[in-house]
């Protein structure tokens, strides 16, 4: 039997236990609320409030740039910057209770062996830093260490050695297509080329880790929250880097041989408009941009606009034939110098007696007088419209940084001279890319397919994004293009450079151009030219356009300077893409004279 005396203490014990349990339950509930139910809110509040919150950035990796076969042209790698804490070195060396396993004298030598430094100089740097500031905890001594070096140093397990990772851009193929690829500046910002053009695809999105710290800086369990980084996408180009490498070596050699300031080779696939090579000399090596003048940091194939000269005479032929104003066998009477009724004076590049030139012959001998007379059969407005459709005065659609559109004036403003000079490639400007685009249309049955340099962007999640491209446009009829191509083949076979440009086993069509360079005073520099040669092969079944340019050659100042480079380039292109030799014989030669 329970007495009244024993019931009182027991009741008090039960009540006290209940109170304790209630308080404990409240603590548990609050702990669950803080660390589980509303953990994210509390972490965010702690971080935002300052002292207890820590945020660390997780760097995303910039995407790769690869060629049409997947060969890496640009990539990002992780490197490490190493630093020492002089104060901690002194503390552990002088504290008998914290003696490190490896004394500083030995550790400095082992560090130096990994980084390629001198151990004595490293020790001296630490002593000098402590003499300047006994509390110094920061002495950087090695930058850009690779992963192997990082692991070797980490194995030393030194409390005073710290290594910070960072991402750097590398270009494994160096200058190969360097002007096309572009580069980043010291702040990691895209400069020029594909790096800039495709920056949105290539750029990474950084993530972050946030957590709360307790007393002594200890991370509070359960407080860590991670937002992962999103790496950049991979940009695949249409370029064949092996072909580009060969053409770069070749054009550099040819430019030097001809004493030219610069040179380039542009290769375009006829059916698709894809640029298969952009070889330039000089060209930037993105790993060492200061190795060339800043002028060559951008691609001259897109940035140089000049009067094309005779390489645009086939375009004049196309517009005249397409309008039904002449055929390849139509003829005009042409001396080597003509004074037209409006007072314009046109000279041929060589002296000759009065000839009855056929249209084909005018193209073969590159007669300015004859082309002026044939071109005048079409109105100025109509010629202007055709030139625009062939790409003059308009960007190629590639979207390349620093691309020039070229310039052509409204035909209502053409003076007496311009009325004729526009028929043989003067009084308007184009880029090498625009010339290659015009020949692509001629080779493709008159169907102009916009040039392209980017195949795709593959995002980090595997999504493949194809670039938008303007629709192809039929700018002349297929019959017109076929007739012009036949004329171009006759230029290759009957022209003065026939033996120099011949590609054994293949029928080709081509046209030279010797463009005068403006002197900035309304005239031209005497004896100074921009020479170029454009061609299509095989001409009976066009597959590739090749354009070769030389800027101010001095050994040979005519377009003959480009003949050797053109022959080598065309030969290599047909070999690279395993184009079958021509099996159909050439049609009967077109007559030069009536």
How confident is the model over 452-508, as pLDDT tens digits? 999 999 999 999 999 988 899 999 999 999 999 999 999 999 999 999 999 999 999
More confident residue, 2 or 234: 234
**Least confident interval from 130-144, 168-182, 205-219, 472-486:** 205-219
> Where is average pLDDT lowest: 99-103, 121-125, 153-157, 259-263?
99-103
pTM given for the model? 0.84
Instruction: Give the model's pLDDT for residue 51.
Output: 47
* 420-460 pLDDT, tens digit each: 999 999 999 999 999 999 999 999 999 999 999 999 999 99
Contact 591, 329 (CB under 8 A): yes
**pLDDT tens digits, one per residue of 322-378:** 999 999 999 999 999 999 999 999 999 999 999 999 999 999 999 999 999 999 999
Where would I find the H helices in 418-469? 418-421, 432-443
Lowest mean pLDDT among 155-164, 168-177, 583-592: 155-164
What pLDDT score was predicted for residue 14? 67
Give the DSSP letter string of 71-89.
Answer: -EEEEEEEEEEEEE-HHHH
pLDDT tens for 191-248 read 999 999 999 999 998 888 787 766 545 567 777 788 888 899 999 999 999 999 999 9
Contacts of 45 by beta carbon, 8 Å cutoff, 6+ apart: none
Give residue 228's pLDDT.
84
The Cα–Cα gap between 152 and 166 comes to 18
When pLDDT is averaged across residues 399-423 and rounded to a whole number, the result is 96
At 19 the pLDDT is: 66
The answer, yes or no, to whether residue 3 has pLDDT greater than 60, is no
CA distance linking residue 104 with residue 82, whole number of Å: 16
Compute φ and ψ for 265, nearest 5 degrees: -135, 125
The chain-wide mean pLDDT, for the chain, equals: 90
Asked if residue 30 has pLDDT above 70, the reply is: no
| Terminal Cα distance for the chain, rounded | 143
Whether residue 126 is predicted with pLDDT greater than 60 in this model: the reply is yes
Q: Is the peptide bond before 282 cis (omega within 30 degrees of 0)?
A: yes
Rounded to whole angstroms, how far apart are CA atoms 360 and 329? 7
In which band, very low, low, confident or very high, does the pLDDT at 156 lie, cut at 50, 70 and 90?
very high
Q: What pLDDT was estimated at residue 47?
A: 47
pLDDT reported for residue 430? 97
CA distance 142 to 148: 14
- The predicted pLDDT at position 28 comes to 67
Q: Which of 587, 582, 514 is nearest to 549 (CA)?
A: 514
Spatial distance between the Cα atoms of 134 and 253, rounded to a whole number of angstroms = 59
For residue 329, what is the DSSP state? T
């Amino acid at each position: 039997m329970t007495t009244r005396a024993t019931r009182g203490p027991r009741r008090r014990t039960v009540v006290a236990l209940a109170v304790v349990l209630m308080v404990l339950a409240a603590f548990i509930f609050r702990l669950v609320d803080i660390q589980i139910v509303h953990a994210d809110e509390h972490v965010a509040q702690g971080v935002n409030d300052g002292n207890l919150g820590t945020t660390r950035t997780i760097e995303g990796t910039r995407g790769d740039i690869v060629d049409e076969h997947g060969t890496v042209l640009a990539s990002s790698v992780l490197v490490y910057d190493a630093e020492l804490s002089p104060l901690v070195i002194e503390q552990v060396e002088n504290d008998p209770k914290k003696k490190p396993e490896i004394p500083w004298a030995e550790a400095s030598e082992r560090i130096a062996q990994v980084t390629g430094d001198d151990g004595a100089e490293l020790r001296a740097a630490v002593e000098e830093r402590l003499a300047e500031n006994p509390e110094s905890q920061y002495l950087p001594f090695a930058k850009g260490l690779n992963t192997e070096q990082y692991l070797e140093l980490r194995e030393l397990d030194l409390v005073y050695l710290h290594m910070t990772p960072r991402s750097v851009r590398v270009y494994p193929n160096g200058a190969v297509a360097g002007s096309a690829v572009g580069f980043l500046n010291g702040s990691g910002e895209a400069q020029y080329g594909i790096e800039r053009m495709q920056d949105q695809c290539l750029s990474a999105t950084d993530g972050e880790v946030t957590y709360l710290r307790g007393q002594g800086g200890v991370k509070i369990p359960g407080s860590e929250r991670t937002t992962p980084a999103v790496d950049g996408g991979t940009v695949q180009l249409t370029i064949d880097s092996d072909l580009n490498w060969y053409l770069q070596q070749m054009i550099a050699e040819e430019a030097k041989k001809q004493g030219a300031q610069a040179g380039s080779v542009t290769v375009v696939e006829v059916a698709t408009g894809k640029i298969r090579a952009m070889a330039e000399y000089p060209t930037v090596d993105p790993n060492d941009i200061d190795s060339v003048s800043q002028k060559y940091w951008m691609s001259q194939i897109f940035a140089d606009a000049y009067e094309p000269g005779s390489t645009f005479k086939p375009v004049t032929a196309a517009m005249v034939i397409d309008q039904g104003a002449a055929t390849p066998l139509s003829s005009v009477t042409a001396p080597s110098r003509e004074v037209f009724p409006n007072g314009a004076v046109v000279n041929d590049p060589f002296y000759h007696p009065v000839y009855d030139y056929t249209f084909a012959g005018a193209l073969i001998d590159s007669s300015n007088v004859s082309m002026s007379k044939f071109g005048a059969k079409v109105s100025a407005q109509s010629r202007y419209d055709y030139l625009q459709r062939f790409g003059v005065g308009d960007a190629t659609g590639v979207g390349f940084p620093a691309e020039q559109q070229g310039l052509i004036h409204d035909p209502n403003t053409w003076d007496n001279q311009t009325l004729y000079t526009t028929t043989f490639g003067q009084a308007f400007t184009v880029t090498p890319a625009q010339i290659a685009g015009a020949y692509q249309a001629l080779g493709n049955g008159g169907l102009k397919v916009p040039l392209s340099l980017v195949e795709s962007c593959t995002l980090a999640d595997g999504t493949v994004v194809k670039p938008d491209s303007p629709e192809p446009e039929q700018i002349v009829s297929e019959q017109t293009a076929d007739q012009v191509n036949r004329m171009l083949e006759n230029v290759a076979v009957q022209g003065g450079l026939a033996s120099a440009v011949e590609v054994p086993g293949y029928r080709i069509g081509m046209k030279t151009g010797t463009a005068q360079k403006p002197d900035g005073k309304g005239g031209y520099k005497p004896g100074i030219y921009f020479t170029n040669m454009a061609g299509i092969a095989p001409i009976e079944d066009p597959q590739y356009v090749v354009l070769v340019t030389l800027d101010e050659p001095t050994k040979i100042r005519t377009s003959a300077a480009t003949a050797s480079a053109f022959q080598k380039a065309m030969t290599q292109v047909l070999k690279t893409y395993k184009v079958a030799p021509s099996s159909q014989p050439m049609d009967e030669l077109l007559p030069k004279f009536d």
